[in-house]
Structure 1
Protein backbone atom coordinates (compact mmCIF):
# COMPACT_ATOMS: atom_id res chain seq x y z
CA UNK A 1 0.00 0.00 0.00
CA UNK A 2 1.18 3.48 -0.84
CA UNK A 3 -0.55 6.79 -0.09
CA UNK A 4 -0.56 8.81 -3.33
CA UNK A 5 -2.49 11.90 -2.29
CA UNK A 6 -4.85 13.40 0.28
CA UNK A 7 -7.44 16.11 -0.14
CA UNK A 8 -11.11 16.48 -1.06
CA UNK A 9 -13.30 14.71 -3.61
CA UNK A 10 -14.69 17.12 -6.19
CA UNK A 11 -18.47 17.39 -6.03
CA UNK A 12 -18.81 16.27 -2.41
CA UNK A 13 -19.89 19.46 -0.66
CA UNK A 14 -19.59 18.08 2.87
CA UNK A 15 -16.61 18.33 5.22
CA UNK A 16 -14.52 15.26 4.42
CA UNK A 17 -11.06 13.82 3.86
CA UNK A 18 -10.06 11.81 0.81
CA UNK A 19 -6.99 9.55 0.60
CA UNK A 20 -5.92 7.95 -2.69
CA UNK A 21 -3.99 4.71 -2.12
CA UNK A 22 -2.21 2.39 -4.56
CA UNK A 23 -2.91 -1.15 -3.40
CA UNK A 24 -3.31 -4.66 -4.78
CA UNK A 25 -6.06 -5.43 -2.25
CA UNK A 26 -9.55 -4.00 -1.92
CA UNK A 27 -11.08 -2.73 1.33
CA UNK A 28 -14.18 -4.57 2.64
CA UNK A 29 -16.73 -4.88 -0.18
CA UNK A 30 -19.59 -3.54 1.95
CA UNK A 31 -17.75 -0.20 2.26
CA UNK A 32 -17.13 0.22 -1.49
CA UNK A 33 -19.70 2.51 -3.11
CA UNK A 34 -18.22 2.88 -6.59
CA UNK A 35 -15.82 1.11 -8.95
CA UNK A 36 -13.75 2.47 -11.84
CA UNK A 37 -11.42 0.94 -14.42
CA UNK A 38 -8.27 2.21 -16.11
CA UNK A 39 -8.17 0.29 -19.42
CA UNK A 40 -4.91 0.58 -21.32
CA UNK A 41 -4.41 -0.67 -24.85
CA UNK A 42 -1.17 -2.00 -26.34
CA UNK A 43 -0.12 1.57 -27.27
CA UNK A 44 -0.57 2.74 -23.64
CA UNK A 45 -3.67 4.74 -24.51
CA UNK A 46 -6.37 4.95 -21.83
CA UNK A 47 -10.08 4.44 -22.52
CA UNK A 48 -12.10 7.38 -21.17
CA UNK A 49 -15.75 8.30 -21.43
CA UNK A 50 -17.24 11.76 -21.91
CA UNK A 51 -20.40 12.95 -20.15
CA UNK A 52 -22.11 16.32 -20.18
CA UNK A 53 -23.12 16.30 -16.51
CA UNK A 54 -22.95 19.08 -13.92
CA UNK A 55 -21.07 17.11 -11.23
CA UNK A 56 -19.33 14.26 -13.12
CA UNK A 57 -19.06 15.89 -16.51
CA UNK A 58 -16.19 15.93 -18.95
CA UNK A 59 -13.63 13.24 -19.61
CA UNK A 60 -13.28 10.65 -16.89
CA UNK A 61 -12.77 6.96 -16.20
CA UNK A 62 -15.66 4.63 -16.93
CA UNK A 63 -17.21 3.41 -13.70
CA UNK A 64 -19.94 4.08 -11.21
CA UNK A 65 -22.06 2.93 -8.31
CA UNK A 66 -22.05 -0.58 -6.93
CA UNK A 67 -25.66 -1.78 -6.88
CA UNK A 68 -27.17 -3.70 -3.95
CA UNK A 69 -25.91 -7.31 -4.04
CA UNK A 70 -23.27 -6.53 -6.68
CA UNK A 71 -19.51 -6.97 -6.18
CA UNK A 72 -17.18 -4.08 -7.01
CA UNK A 73 -15.74 -6.14 -9.87
CA UNK A 74 -19.18 -6.81 -11.35
CA UNK A 75 -20.07 -3.12 -11.01
CA UNK A 76 -16.86 -2.10 -12.77
CA UNK A 77 -17.56 -4.45 -15.70
CA UNK A 78 -21.20 -3.31 -15.98
CA UNK A 79 -20.34 0.38 -15.78
CA UNK A 80 -17.52 0.13 -18.35
CA UNK A 81 -19.94 -1.53 -20.77
CA UNK A 82 -22.67 1.07 -20.15
CA UNK A 83 -20.41 4.12 -20.29
CA UNK A 84 -17.97 3.11 -23.02
CA UNK A 85 -19.36 0.04 -24.77
CA UNK A 86 -16.14 -1.85 -24.08
CA UNK A 87 -16.60 -5.49 -22.99
CA UNK A 88 -14.55 -6.79 -20.06
CA UNK A 89 -14.41 -10.04 -18.10
CA UNK A 90 -13.57 -10.42 -14.43
CA UNK A 91 -10.27 -12.09 -15.40
CA UNK A 92 -9.26 -8.87 -17.24
CA UNK A 93 -9.22 -6.84 -14.02
CA UNK A 94 -6.47 -6.32 -11.46
CA UNK A 95 -6.93 -4.23 -8.32
CA UNK A 96 -5.04 -0.95 -8.69
CA UNK A 97 -6.06 0.94 -5.56
CA UNK A 98 -8.80 2.79 -3.77
CA UNK A 99 -9.90 6.17 -2.54
CA UNK A 100 -11.03 6.28 1.08
CA UNK A 101 -13.37 9.14 1.97
CA UNK A 102 -14.25 10.00 5.53
CA UNK A 103 -17.05 12.40 6.44
CA UNK A 104 -16.09 14.90 9.11
CA UNK A 105 -19.68 15.89 9.88
CA UNK A 106 -22.92 14.09 10.75
CA UNK A 107 -24.40 12.02 7.96
CA UNK A 108 -26.97 14.12 6.08
CA UNK A 109 -30.45 12.79 5.42
CA UNK A 110 -30.54 10.74 2.23
CA UNK A 111 -26.76 10.25 2.07
CA UNK A 112 -26.46 6.96 0.15
CA UNK A 113 -22.84 6.08 0.86
CA UNK A 114 -21.29 4.10 3.71
CA UNK A 115 -20.78 6.27 6.76
CA UNK A 116 -18.55 7.54 8.18
CA UNK A 117 -15.95 5.89 5.90
CA UNK A 118 -16.46 4.69 2.33
CA UNK A 119 -14.31 3.67 -0.61
CA UNK A 120 -14.05 4.08 -4.37
CA UNK A 121 -12.31 1.05 -5.94
CA UNK A 122 -9.97 1.27 -8.92
CA UNK A 123 -9.09 -1.60 -11.25
CA UNK A 124 -6.75 -1.80 -14.22
CA UNK A 125 -7.09 -3.83 -17.43
CA UNK A 126 -4.35 -4.15 -20.06
CA UNK A 127 -5.14 -5.09 -23.63
CA UNK A 128 -2.69 -6.94 -25.87
CA UNK A 129 -4.06 -5.10 -28.92
CA UNK A 130 -4.75 -1.49 -29.78
CA UNK A 131 -8.14 -0.27 -28.59
CA UNK A 132 -10.78 -0.06 -31.29
CA UNK A 133 -13.48 2.62 -31.62
CA UNK A 134 -16.28 2.09 -29.14
CA UNK A 135 -19.58 3.74 -28.27
CA UNK A 136 -21.48 4.10 -24.97
CA UNK A 137 -24.82 2.34 -24.62
CA UNK A 138 -27.76 4.26 -26.13
CA UNK A 139 -29.29 4.89 -22.68
CA UNK A 140 -25.97 5.88 -21.08
CA UNK A 141 -25.31 9.24 -19.45
CA UNK A 142 -22.14 9.31 -21.56
CA UNK A 143 -22.10 10.67 -25.09
CA UNK A 144 -18.78 9.24 -26.29
CA UNK A 145 -15.73 7.18 -25.40
CA UNK A 146 -12.23 7.37 -26.82
CA UNK A 147 -8.68 6.08 -26.42
CA UNK A 148 -6.42 8.93 -25.24
CA UNK A 149 -2.64 9.13 -24.98
CA UNK A 150 -1.13 9.70 -21.51
CA UNK A 151 -0.45 13.35 -22.45
CA UNK A 152 -4.08 13.86 -23.53
CA UNK A 153 -5.31 12.21 -20.32
CA UNK A 154 -3.15 14.52 -18.17
CA UNK A 155 -4.49 17.57 -20.02
CA UNK A 156 -8.19 16.61 -20.08
CA UNK A 157 -8.27 15.08 -16.58
CA UNK A 158 -5.88 17.38 -14.72
CA UNK A 159 -8.31 17.85 -11.80
CA UNK A 160 -9.28 14.19 -11.37
CA UNK A 161 -8.34 12.62 -8.03
CA UNK A 162 -7.38 9.30 -9.68
CA UNK A 163 -4.69 10.83 -11.93
CA UNK A 164 -1.75 9.78 -9.66
CA UNK A 165 -2.73 6.15 -10.31
CA UNK A 166 -1.34 6.49 -13.85
CA UNK A 167 2.17 6.41 -12.38
CA UNK A 168 1.54 3.58 -9.88
CA UNK A 169 0.42 0.51 -11.77
CA UNK A 170 1.15 -3.12 -11.00
CA UNK A 171 2.99 -5.01 -13.73
Structure 2
Protein backbone atom coordinates (compact mmCIF):
# COMPACT_ATOMS: atom_id res chain seq x y z
CA UNK A 1 0.00 0.00 0.00
CA UNK A 2 1.28 3.43 -0.85
CA UNK A 3 2.17 5.55 2.14
CA UNK A 4 0.09 8.66 2.69
CA UNK A 5 2.33 11.74 2.64
CA UNK A 6 -0.18 14.57 3.02
CA UNK A 7 -3.23 15.22 5.16
CA UNK A 8 -6.39 14.56 3.11
CA UNK A 9 -8.11 17.49 4.86
CA UNK A 10 -5.55 20.33 4.79
CA UNK A 11 -2.71 19.02 2.54
CA UNK A 12 -0.08 19.53 5.28
CA UNK A 13 2.79 16.99 5.14
CA UNK A 14 2.22 14.11 7.56
CA UNK A 15 4.60 12.98 10.27
CA UNK A 16 4.88 9.55 11.83
CA UNK A 17 3.93 9.72 15.48
CA UNK A 18 3.33 7.20 18.25
CA UNK A 19 -0.37 7.63 18.95
CA UNK A 20 -2.68 5.23 20.80
CA UNK A 21 0.12 2.70 21.09
CA UNK A 22 0.86 2.54 17.37
CA UNK A 23 2.93 4.55 14.94
CA UNK A 24 0.50 6.42 12.71
CA UNK A 25 0.53 9.20 10.14
CA UNK A 26 -0.27 12.41 12.00
CA UNK A 27 -1.17 15.90 10.81
CA UNK A 28 0.40 18.56 12.98
CA UNK A 29 -1.80 21.30 11.51
CA UNK A 30 -5.09 19.46 12.18
CA UNK A 31 -3.59 17.95 15.35
CA UNK A 32 -5.09 14.60 14.42
CA UNK A 33 -4.05 11.07 13.44
CA UNK A 34 -4.87 9.87 9.95
CA UNK A 35 -6.43 6.45 10.51
CA UNK A 36 -5.90 3.80 7.88
CA UNK A 37 -8.78 1.36 7.78
CA UNK A 38 -9.61 -1.72 5.74
CA UNK A 39 -11.54 -1.15 2.53
CA UNK A 40 -14.97 -2.87 2.63
CA UNK A 41 -15.94 -5.27 -0.14
CA UNK A 42 -18.43 -8.08 -0.72
CA UNK A 43 -18.47 -11.51 -2.31
CA UNK A 44 -21.50 -13.59 -3.31
CA UNK A 45 -21.73 -17.37 -3.45
CA UNK A 46 -24.59 -18.28 -5.78
CA UNK A 47 -25.26 -21.96 -5.08
CA UNK A 48 -27.43 -24.17 -7.26
CA UNK A 49 -27.73 -27.83 -6.24
CA UNK A 50 -28.08 -28.82 -9.92
CA UNK A 51 -25.27 -26.77 -11.49
CA UNK A 52 -22.86 -25.86 -8.68
CA UNK A 53 -21.34 -22.54 -7.69
CA UNK A 54 -21.23 -19.44 -9.88
CA UNK A 55 -17.76 -18.03 -10.54
CA UNK A 56 -16.46 -15.20 -12.69
CA UNK A 57 -13.16 -15.02 -14.52
CA UNK A 58 -11.65 -11.66 -13.61
CA UNK A 59 -10.97 -9.20 -16.44
CA UNK A 60 -9.14 -6.72 -14.18
CA UNK A 61 -6.27 -6.77 -11.70
CA UNK A 62 -5.68 -8.02 -9.16
CA UNK A 63 -5.65 -11.62 -10.29
CA UNK A 64 -6.78 -10.89 -13.84
CA UNK A 65 -7.66 -14.12 -15.66
CA UNK A 66 -8.33 -16.05 -12.45
CA UNK A 67 -11.65 -17.32 -11.15
CA UNK A 68 -13.40 -15.67 -8.20
CA UNK A 69 -16.80 -15.03 -6.72
CA UNK A 70 -18.86 -12.13 -8.01
CA UNK A 71 -18.30 -9.15 -5.75
CA UNK A 72 -16.59 -5.84 -5.28
CA UNK A 73 -16.25 -2.70 -3.23
CA UNK A 74 -18.97 -1.19 -1.08
CA UNK A 75 -19.74 2.35 -2.24
CA UNK A 76 -20.39 5.30 0.09
CA UNK A 77 -23.98 5.31 1.44
CA UNK A 78 -24.45 1.68 0.38
CA UNK A 79 -25.11 -1.23 2.73
CA UNK A 80 -22.90 -4.32 2.22
CA UNK A 81 -25.86 -6.51 1.22
CA UNK A 82 -26.95 -3.92 -1.38
CA UNK A 83 -23.38 -3.77 -2.72
CA UNK A 84 -23.27 -7.56 -2.97
CA UNK A 85 -26.46 -7.73 -5.04
CA UNK A 86 -25.37 -4.77 -7.21
CA UNK A 87 -22.02 -6.41 -7.94
CA UNK A 88 -23.74 -9.74 -8.68
CA UNK A 89 -25.94 -8.04 -11.28
CA UNK A 90 -23.07 -6.01 -12.77
CA UNK A 91 -20.69 -8.95 -13.12
CA UNK A 92 -23.08 -11.77 -14.07
CA UNK A 93 -26.34 -10.23 -15.29
CA UNK A 94 -28.41 -12.14 -12.73
CA UNK A 95 -30.43 -10.92 -9.78
CA UNK A 96 -30.81 -12.70 -6.50
CA UNK A 97 -31.99 -12.66 -2.93
CA UNK A 98 -29.55 -13.03 -0.06
CA UNK A 99 -30.21 -16.18 1.95
CA UNK A 100 -27.62 -15.74 4.69
CA UNK A 101 -24.43 -14.06 5.78
CA UNK A 102 -21.50 -16.45 5.29
CA UNK A 103 -19.03 -14.44 7.33
CA UNK A 104 -16.35 -11.80 7.15
CA UNK A 105 -12.81 -12.42 5.88
CA UNK A 106 -9.79 -10.29 4.99
CA UNK A 107 -7.30 -10.26 2.13
CA UNK A 108 -4.04 -8.34 1.97
CA UNK A 109 -3.86 -5.88 -0.90
CA UNK A 110 -0.86 -4.08 -2.39
CA UNK A 111 -3.16 -1.17 -3.26
CA UNK A 112 -5.43 -0.93 -0.21
CA UNK A 113 -3.45 -2.61 2.57
CA UNK A 114 -6.33 -4.77 3.80
CA UNK A 115 -9.66 -5.51 2.17
CA UNK A 116 -12.47 -6.61 4.50
CA UNK A 117 -14.83 -8.93 2.60
CA UNK A 118 -18.40 -9.64 3.68
CA UNK A 119 -19.63 -12.92 2.16
CA UNK A 120 -23.25 -13.72 1.35
CA UNK A 121 -25.10 -16.79 0.09
CA UNK A 122 -27.68 -16.53 -2.71
CA UNK A 123 -29.76 -19.59 -3.57
CA UNK A 124 -32.77 -17.83 -5.06
CA UNK A 125 -31.73 -16.12 -8.29
CA UNK A 126 -33.13 -15.20 -11.69
CA UNK A 127 -31.47 -14.91 -15.08
CA UNK A 128 -28.79 -16.63 -17.08
CA UNK A 129 -25.21 -15.74 -16.13
CA UNK A 130 -23.24 -13.75 -18.66
CA UNK A 131 -19.97 -11.89 -18.19
CA UNK A 132 -20.38 -8.24 -17.34
CA UNK A 133 -18.43 -5.52 -15.56
CA UNK A 134 -14.96 -6.74 -14.40
CA UNK A 135 -15.62 -10.28 -15.71
CA UNK A 136 -14.61 -11.96 -18.93
CA UNK A 137 -16.58 -15.17 -18.20
CA UNK A 138 -19.31 -16.29 -15.81
CA UNK A 139 -20.12 -19.96 -15.27
CA UNK A 140 -21.37 -22.48 -12.76
CA UNK A 141 -18.93 -25.14 -11.59
CA UNK A 142 -19.79 -28.34 -9.74
CA UNK A 143 -17.68 -28.66 -6.58
CA UNK A 144 -15.64 -31.56 -7.99
CA UNK A 145 -14.36 -29.60 -11.00
CA UNK A 146 -13.84 -26.08 -9.68
CA UNK A 147 -10.86 -24.11 -10.96
CA UNK A 148 -8.37 -22.63 -8.49
CA UNK A 149 -9.90 -19.65 -6.67
CA UNK A 150 -8.12 -16.27 -6.84
CA UNK A 151 -8.64 -15.14 -3.25
CA UNK A 152 -8.39 -17.05 0.03
CA UNK A 153 -11.43 -15.21 1.38
CA UNK A 154 -13.53 -16.42 -1.58
CA UNK A 155 -12.28 -19.99 -1.12
CA UNK A 156 -13.30 -19.83 2.55
CA UNK A 157 -16.84 -18.73 1.62
CA UNK A 158 -17.07 -21.46 -1.02
CA UNK A 159 -15.91 -24.09 1.48
CA UNK A 160 -18.71 -23.11 3.87
CA UNK A 161 -21.30 -23.50 1.11
CA UNK A 162 -19.89 -26.81 -0.11
CA UNK A 163 -20.22 -28.17 3.41
CA UNK A 164 -23.89 -27.15 3.45
CA UNK A 165 -25.07 -27.87 -0.10
CA UNK A 166 -22.67 -30.44 -1.49
CA UNK A 167 -21.72 -32.67 1.49
CA UNK A 168 -20.34 -35.48 -0.70
CA UNK A 169 -17.40 -33.25 -1.62
CA UNK A 170 -14.67 -32.59 0.91
CA UNK A 171 -13.39 -29.04 1.40
CA UNK A 172 -10.01 -29.96 -0.08
CA UNK A 173 -11.64 -30.95 -3.38
CA UNK A 174 -12.99 -27.40 -3.84
CA UNK A 175 -9.47 -26.02 -4.10
CA UNK A 176 -8.10 -28.57 -6.54
CA UNK A 177 -7.25 -27.36 -10.04
CA UNK A 178 -9.03 -28.74 -13.10
TM-score, scaled to structure 1: 0.60
Number of residues paired by the alignment? 128
Gaps of 5+ in 2: 4-36, 165-178
Deviation of 1:125 (Å): 1.4
Distance 2:103 2:142 in 1: 21
More divergent stretch after superposition (34-43 vs 118-127)? 118-127
**Corresponding residue number in structure 2 for 1:97:** 103
* Partner SS for 1:77: helix
Cα 1:54–1:168 shift into 2, 3 Å: closer
CA RMSD of aligned residues (A): 3.4
**Corresponding residue number in structure 2 for 1:20:** none
Structure ID, larger Rg:
2
**Corresponding residue number in structure 1 for 2:156:** 164
Distance 2:93 2:83 in 1: 14
Greater fraction of residues in strand: 2
Deviation of 1:88 (Å): 1.4
Gaps of 5+ in 1: 1-11, 15-29
Deviation of 1:144 (Å): 1.9
Deviation of 1:53 (Å): 2.5
Contact kept, 8 Å, 1:47 with 1:146, in 2: the verdict is yes
TM-score, scaled to structure 2: 0.58
Contact kept, 8 Å, 2:39 with 2:116, in 1: the verdict is yes
**Corresponding residue number in structure 2 for 1:136:** 131
**Corresponding residue number in structure 2 for 1:72:** 80
Contact kept, 8 Å, 1:32 with 1:119, in 2: the verdict is yes
